[in-house]
Structure 1
Amino acid sequence: MAQTPPYPRRRPGAGPGVAFLLAALVAACSSVPPPTESRLPPGPAARPAQPLFALDDPDHPQEIVMFALGLLDTGYRFGGRNPEAGLDCSGMVSYVVEQVSGQRLPHNAAQIAERTRPISQAELSPGDLVFFNTARRPHSHMGIYIGDGRFIHAPSSRGAVRIEKLSNAYFAPRFDGARTLIARD
């Protein structure tokens, strides 16, 4: 007496590849639409953009330069945001802007870059901001442009607020962009 196997016998040519193909065809013809952007959870790109920072007084850029020059030789301190305790680069910029305009910027160079309008290096005017890639990441250092190819900043090396040239052998290759605090036409 012949035994019948507990499973159906395979027909020639009906191997696992054919089953996969049939499953793929059924899935492709499915009536369920793929997820759309509106069905996806909001991610970092879905965050609403912060409004651009804008100074409301045309004299503010020059006042920012003058106020910043008054901070020359102020000591450096990582995370510092006032002259008494010491300043870091973004702390100096946010402190100066707040003292002059009453408006507060974030205490982070990359966040300040996000909140300000980009301009070309040729468009730089006193009171604009300059950014550098000094820590292998964009906008990791910043300063205030004071004119004549120079900027004032709070560097960690030699520990005090000072003036540098944009053409400086260290800063020129690390220049990462210019941004403005004022709305220009």
Structure 2
Amino acid sequence: MKKYSIMVLSIVLLLAFSSSAWAASPLEETVDELLGTDYEWAGTTTKGFDCSGFTQYVFKQFDIELPHSSSAQASKGNPVEKKDLRAGDLVFFNTSGDGISHVGIYLGNNKFVHSATDDGVIISDMSEKYYAQRYVKARRVLGKYLYDRIAVEQPQQ
């Protein structure tokens, strides 16, 4: 019994001390609070978002102004190659067959967060067939300072 108790205590201590000294980034924390928010056409509040209203809302939390239109957002910032995406980049899709019609925020690891018509605010994988076939481009609206402050994991206080 003593060996068992020591083993359990050792595992608990190992888990306690091996937890990350880093917390989620401010961007991740903001997005996490909004997951599951309903989709609403032209929505720009936590009562409901359309895709560009969602990205506009998230970036506004960090004092970054974006227009309320995916096609208008697609002209902001600087172009970025798909292979060079980093957290906080805007990713654009042609879901209507008529040019850029959907936007999301890249989170890293091939994931992006967006407000989808049927599901509201969700995280999707860029390689999902639907999005992979409709990807158009990405834009970087966060400079180095803002990227480090908003999109990088922060040390725990």
Residue pairs, 1:34-183, within 5 angstroms: 62-84=25-47, 86-100=48-62, 102-158=63-119, 160-183=120-143
Residue 99 of structure 1 and its aligned partner are, at CA, apart by 1.1
Q: Which has the higher contact order (CA 8 A, sep 6+)?
A: 2
Between structures 1 and 2, the one with greater strand share: 2
2:75 counterpart SS class? helix
1:161 counterpart SS class? strand
Structure 1: runs of 5 or more not aligned:
1-61
CA distance in structure 2 between the partners assigned to 1:178 and 1:152 by the alignment: 14
Q: Is the 8 A contact 1:65 1:126 kept in 2?
A: no
**Normalising to structure 2: TM-score of the pair?**
0.72
Structure 2: runs of 5 or more not aligned:
1-24, 145-157
Residue 183 of structure 1 and its aligned partner are, at CA, apart by 3.3
Which of structures 1 and 2 has the bigger CA Rg?
Answer: 1
CA distance in structure 2 between the partners assigned to 1:156 and 1:164 by the alignment: 13
CA distance in structure 1 between the partners assigned to 2:40 and 2:137 by the alignment: 24
CA distance in structure 2 between the partners assigned to 1:125 and 1:70 by the alignment: 21
Between structures 1 and 2, the one with greater helix share: 2
Residue 182 of structure 1 and its aligned partner are, at CA, apart by 2.1
Q: Deviations over 1:120-158 (max 9, x none)?
A: 001100111110000112221010001100000001023
Structure 1: 4+ residue segments shifted above 2 A: 62-66
Q: Percent identity?
A: 36
